[in-house]
């Protein structure tokens, strides 16, 4: 049986709501599930406004446009994250400034961030990686002192909290992903959240071809906009997933803790959960010791596990390794030191303990790991 690194948890609840949207969600009911989904989501994370989108990438694009980021501006981002963050910045004509990450959280390093602020810096996009949380206290202070806008990419951290405040609710804008591999899914999809009515109305209009809702004529726009709307059928799936989200998050933590016990005593580092935080552990991740794993050995491990019907993911490549950013010649030592030694483990909700034991056993045997205790 195949062990996937991730897949969605779909039950009769999701099927029921999707069928209902398919049968009845047309005409004057074509936005019913979208409205329900947005209302339920903003209630879950305790924020004033939410806009469902077709992807998290679209959510990032709309966020940057709403903040007025344009050609000539700079936006600071972490070296370790998915390409969607930098590509969204490029789409508005701004320049991504790539900085290093922290060794323990793998998230943006406030020290490296501060060093790279210039007169052109207009925004910072922080990425909560694999469920791990950024140092929001320090980052918010920097943004306030320098009058810089803050976007939180919480695509991988739905359910992660600092004290009782959810990831995605600390900045001017937060964005989430509902891709099929994420904690909850709409197939493809995203969400923008904010506590600012001004930003909400601007993003809502941008997402509706520049129509504000105040136009007196049908099919009339006030300005040039876009359309990153989610469909009513996708929203029905998202709404149903939200009904089960607390149970899903609980199971994700259980899966991570199983791995933690199974790898106890070995010279590895896993996702961190700092004091006063709750990690949603979207993707249980291992960083191995240098002697145990390098880029070539990692590739061999992936092929070996594939032969055993087990999927794992590589740790994100540093962005500046991509051909189109190589010219920047960055010296982000921590990021370059981490990526070749990291893997993401299978962690879908229905994953069984005996399957986790199988994954761990194959990894230990292939790398010939030895316990320290």
pLDDT per residue of the chain (373 residues) written in tens, 0 to 9? 899 999 999 999 999 999 999 999 999 999 999 999 999 999 999 999 999 999 999 999 999 999 999 999 999 999 999 999 999 999 999 999 999 999 999 999 999 999 999 999 999 999 999 999 999 999 999 999 999 999 999 999 999 999 999 999 999 999 999 999 999 999 999 999 999 999 999 999 999 999 999 999 999 999 999 999 999 999 999 999 999 999 999 999 999 999 999 999 999 999 999 999 999 999 999 999 888 888 889 999 999 999 999 999 999 999 999 998 887 778 899 999 999 999 999 999 999 999 999 999 999 999 988 887 5
Rg of the chain taking only CA atoms, in angstroms: 21
Count of structural domains, the chain? 2
Does residue 190 sit in the same domain as residue 254? Answer: no
Does residue 233 sit in the same domain as residue 255? Answer: no
Residues 230-242 as b/e (b if ≥16 CB within 10 A, e otherwise) read bbbbbbbbbbbbb
Cα-based angle 65, 160, 344 (whole degrees, multiple of 5) = 95
- Determine contact, residues 158/242, Cβ cutoff 8 Å: no
- In a domain, residue 347? The reply is yes
Give the whole-angstrom CA distance, residue 139 versus residue 171: 10
Does residue 92 sit in the same domain as residue 157? Answer: yes
- In a domain, residue 5? The reply is no
- In a domain, residue 224? The reply is yes
- In a domain, residue 372? The reply is no
- Determine contact, residues 226/209, Cβ cutoff 8 Å: yes
Structure confidence at residue 66 (pLDDT): 98
- In a domain, residue 2? The reply is no
Residue 9: exposure state from Cβ atoms within 10 A (0-12, 13-18, ≥19): middle
Could you list the residue range(s) of the whole structural domain that residue 220 is in?
A: 12-243
Does residue 170 sit in the same domain as residue 290? Answer: no
**Boundary of a domain, candidates 243, 260, 276:** 243
Structure confidence at residue 156 (pLDDT): 98
Does residue 226 sit in the same domain as residue 254? Answer: no
Give the distance from CA 340 to its chain's centroid.
21
- What the block records as the tokens of 90 is 């490029």
Within 13 Å and on the Cβ side, how many CA atoms surround 172? Answer: 21
- In a domain, residue 121? The reply is yes
Does residue 230 sit in the same domain as residue 302? Answer: no
Return contacts of 40-46, CB within 8 angstroms, 24+ apart: 40/239, 40/242, 40/243, 41/191, 41/193, 41/238, 41/242, 42/193, 44/242, 44/245, 45/166, 45/168, 45/169, 45/193, 46/165, 46/166, 46/169
Which domain CATH number covers 254? 3.90.1150.10
Structure confidence at residue 356 (pLDDT): 98
Going by the DSSP 8-state scheme, the letter that residue 267 receives in this structure is S
Does residue 267 sit in the same domain as residue 238? Answer: no
Residues 312-342 as b/e (b if ≥16 CB within 10 A, e otherwise) read bbebbbbbbeeeebeeeebebebbbebbbbb
Structure confidence at residue 222 (pLDDT): 93
Q: Which helix (H) or strand (E) holds 200?
A: helix 197-206
Does residue 181 sit in the same domain as residue 328? Answer: no
**Boundary of a domain, candidates 209, 243, 277:** 243
Residue 6: exposure state from Cβ atoms within 10 A (0-12, 13-18, ≥19): buried
Which domain CATH number covers 134? 3.40.640.10
- The structure's pTM equals 0.96
- Cα–Cα separations (whole angstroms), residue 222 to 46, 210, 241, 280, 357: 31, 6, 35, 41, 58
Within 13 Å and on the Cβ side, how many CA atoms surround 59? Answer: 29
Structure confidence at residue 373 (pLDDT): 57
- Determine contact, residues 278/164, Cβ cutoff 8 Å: no
- In a domain, residue 1? The reply is no
Structure confidence at residue 329 (pLDDT): 76
Does residue 153 sit in the same domain as residue 25? Answer: yes
| Residue ranges with strand state E in 216-263 | none
Does residue 219 sit in the same domain as residue 323? Answer: no
* φ/ψ of residue 47, rounded to 5: -140, 160
- In a domain, residue 6? The reply is no
| Bridge partners, residue 268, by sequence | 288
Q: Which of 2, 6, 67, 73 is nearest to 283 (CA)?
A: 6
Does residue 162 sit in the same domain as residue 261? Answer: no
**Boundary of a domain, candidates 196, 213, 243:** 243
Does residue 84 sit in the same domain as residue 227? Answer: yes
In the numeric block, the tokens 């923008």 are attached to: 192
């Amino acid at each position: 049986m195949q062990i996937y690194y991730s897949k969605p948890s779909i039950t009769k609840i999701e099927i029921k709501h999707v069928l209902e949207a398919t049968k009845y969600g047309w005409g004057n009911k074509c936005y019913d599930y979208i409205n329900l989904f947005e209302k339920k989501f903003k209630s879950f994370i305790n924020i004033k406004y939410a806009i469902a989108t077709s992807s998290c990438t679209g959510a990032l694009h709309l966020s940057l446009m709403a903040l007025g980021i344009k050609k000539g501006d700079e936006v600071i981002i972490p070296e370790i994250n998915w390409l969607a963050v930098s590509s969204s910045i490029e789409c508005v004509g701004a320049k991504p400034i790539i900085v290093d990450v922290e060794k323990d959280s793998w998230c943006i390093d406030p020290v490296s961030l501060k060093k790279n602020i210039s007169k052109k810096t207009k925004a910072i996009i922080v990425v909560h990686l694999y469920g791990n949380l950024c140092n929001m206290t320090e980052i918010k202070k920097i943004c306030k002192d320098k009058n810089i806008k803050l976007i939180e990419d919480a695509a991988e951290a739905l359910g992660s909290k600092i004290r009782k405040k959810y990831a995605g609710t600390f900045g001017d804008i937060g964005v989430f992903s509902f891709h099929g591999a994420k904690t909850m899914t709409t197939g493809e999809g995203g969400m923008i959240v904010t506590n600012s009515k001004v930003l909400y109305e601007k993003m809502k209009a941008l997402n509706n071809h520049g129509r504000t809702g105040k136009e007196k004529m049908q099919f009339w726009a006030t300005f040039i906009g876009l359309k990153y709307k989610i469909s009513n059928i996708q929203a029905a799936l998202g709404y149903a997933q939200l009904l089960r989200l607390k149970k899903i998050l609980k199971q994700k933590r259980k899966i991570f803790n199983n791995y933690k016990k199974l790898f106890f005593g070995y010279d590895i580092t896993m996702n961190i959960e700092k004091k006063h935080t709750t990690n949603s552990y979207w993707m249980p991740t291992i960083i191995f010791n240098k002697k145990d794993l390098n880029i070539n050995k990692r590739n061999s491990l992936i092929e070996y596990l594939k032969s055993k019907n087990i999927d794992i993911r590589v740790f994100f490549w540093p962005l500046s390794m991509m051909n189109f950013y190589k010219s920047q010649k960055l010296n982000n030592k921590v990021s370059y030191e981490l990526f070749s030694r990291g893997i993401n483990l299978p962690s879908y909700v229905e994953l069984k303990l005996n399957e986790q034991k199988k994954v761990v056993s194959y990894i230990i045997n292939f790398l010939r790991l030895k316990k320290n205790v």
